[in-house]
Every structure is written in C-alpha cells, then in structure tokens.
C-alpha cells in the first residue's frame, strides 16, 4: 500500500472540502475514486479511438433492433436443429395436410418449401412424387436436411433473397415459417413467391391465429434467446395475399391437436 502526500492551496482545499461534504465521504476515499475515474476515462478513450479506427476502415457493422431479433431467431433454430429433426421426422401429424396439398397439383409437381427447417416436410413431399426444393436461413437446419432427405434439394437462403434461380414451381408451402415475418415485410415475400409460382399454382401456409406480436423467450444450451412471432388471422392474410396476386382458395386440413394450439392452415391460388 502506498502513502501519498498532497500539498493543496487554499482554493483547492476549499474545493476538496466541498466535495467531501457533498458526497459524504472522507478525503482519502474521495481522492481514490477521482484517481480511478481518471484512469477509466483514459481506458475508455483508448477503446473509442480503436473503435473509430475500425469504423474508418469499414470494419464495424451496426445492427438495427429488427436485425438483432432476426439473428436471435436464426440462432435459436441453429441450436435446436438436431432436436427439431428428431421430433418432426418421426411425427406424421402433417402428412394428411401435405397429401391434401399435393392432390391439388399436377402429377410429379415442383414444390418449394419456404422455411423448410430440417427438411421433414420435404421428405414427405418427395415420398408423394414431388420434386422439392427447400430453403431456410438456418445453416444447421439445412445441413441436417441434406443428410436426412437426399431426394430434395436444399439451399441456405433468406426469404428476402428469394429469386428465380430455381425456376418456376407448381406449389409453395410455408409451414410455421412466415410467423417470423412482420406485416411490413410480408408483401415483399409474397411478391417474390408470386414471381416463381406458375399461374394457377397453389400456396399453402400454416400460421398462428390472432393479431399482434408474441415474444417467445427460450434458454437453449445456456443461451437466452428471444424471437418474435407475428400473429395473423384469416382476414389479415387474405388482404396481404390478394394484394400480391393470390386468391383465397380454402382452409387446408390441419390436425385437431394443432388447431387447439391456435395453428391455422390456408390455401391460396395465384391468379391466372
């Protein structure tokens, strides 16, 4: 421990007394805190200078609140990919829904699975004779999909990056994936789908029924992640789809166990 002796003039003594009275601390404690603050100020300035240097080089990336939420959602699906695959590859609850959808299409149809996850629905589509392409923004999910569903083609693609690289499709499905798209972004996604689905083609979605936003917080492998789910009722969806060139066709079949959890299935058809 070092002992420091200070020589102060009358004005400095007056200032020190004022500070000790104001903060209700003794002189020794107050001086220690001032020295510590000065040191921390120097460290902060060094960090700021380093950050500004990186910023000048273009090495700094800023994220909006929307992007942070999206990254948390992606991280959730990356971390739970194996668990999701084990659960859904062995669960046939959606098979009747898929069979009904395929029955609307021509023989051996081309189908896009928008937000395919680990490829469990692609596997069932392929078993019914469809030529399937699955896309998802989770690299871990796509890795498992490629391993477990060899019959389909998979790519890591964000919904907003969808283009015509795969050609035209007879049908598109989006099962519990568009719930992560805000109403403001839905027209963009639907417009992109309209560009790659044939006239008269079918688009089936499974959504959470309701209105507003639901924040879902989960702890996965010690990491707390909050993802946003957007709720849509039939009226909301019909309005959005109609503006993008789709007509409401009918409600799709959905198992009672899913309906009881407020999931809904709707089928839309692209205008001819």
Q: Which two tokens stand for residue 71?
A: 């990254």
Cβ-contact 94, 175 below 8 angstroms: yes
Amino acid 22: pLDDT: 77
Q: Which helix (H) or strand (E) holds 248?
A: strand 246-251
* pLDDT of the residue at 137: 95
* pLDDT value for 17: 85
DSSP string, 31-100: HHHHHHHHHHHHHHHHHHHHHHHHHHHT------HHHHHHHHHHHHHHHTHHHHHHHHTT--TTHHHHHH
Can you name the CATH fold of 68-270? Rossmann fold (3.40.50)
Residue 104, exposed/middle/buried by CB under 10 A (0-12, 13-18, 19+)? middle
For residue 251, the cross-strand partners are 266
Pair of tokens at residue 19: 């500070």
Domain residue limits, the chain: 10-57, 68-270
pLDDT at site 33 = 81
pLDDT, averaged in runs of 10, over the chain (272 residues):
75 83 80 78 72 66 49 90 96 98 97 98 98 97 98 96 96 97 95 97 97 89 88 96 97 97 97 90
Q: How many other C-beta atoms can be found within 10 angstroms of the C-beta atom of residue 32?
A: 13
Q: Pull the structure tokens for residue 33.
A: 């805190």
């Amino acid at each position: 421990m070092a002992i420091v002796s200070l020589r102060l003039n009358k004005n400095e003594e007056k200032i020190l007394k004022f500070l000790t009275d104001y903060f209700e601390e003794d002189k020794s404690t107050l001086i220690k805190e001032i020295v510590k603050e000065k040191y921390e100020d120097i460290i902060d300035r060094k960090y700021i200078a380093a950050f500004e240097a990186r910023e000048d080089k273009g090495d700094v990336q800023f994220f909006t609140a929307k992007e942070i939420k999206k990254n948390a959602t992606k991280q959730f699906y990356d971390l739970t990919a194996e668990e999701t695959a084990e659960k859904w590859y062995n669960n046939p609850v959606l098979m009747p829904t898929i069979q009904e959808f395929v029955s609307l299409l021509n023989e051996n149809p081309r189908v896009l699975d928008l937000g395919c996850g680990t490829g469990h629905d692609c596997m069932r589509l392929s078993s019914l004779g469809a030529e399937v392409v699955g896309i998802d923004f989770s690299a871990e999910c796509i890795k498992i999909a490629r391993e477990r569903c060899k019959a389909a083609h998979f790519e890591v693609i964000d919904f907003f990056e969808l283009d015509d690289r795969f050609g035209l499709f007879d049908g598109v499905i989006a099962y519990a994936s568009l719930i992560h798209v805000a109403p403001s972004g839905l027209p963009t996604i639907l417009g992109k789908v309209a560009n790659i689905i044939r006239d008269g083609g079918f688009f089936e979605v499974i959504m959470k029924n309701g209105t507003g936003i639901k924040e879902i917080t989960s702890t996965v492998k010690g990491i707390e992640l909050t993802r946003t789910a957007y709720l849509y009722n039939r009226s909301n969806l019909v309005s959005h789809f109609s503006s993008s060139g789709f007509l409401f066709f009918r409600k799709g079949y959905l198992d009672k166990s899913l309906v009881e959890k407020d999931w809904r299935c709707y089928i839309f058809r692209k205008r001819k």
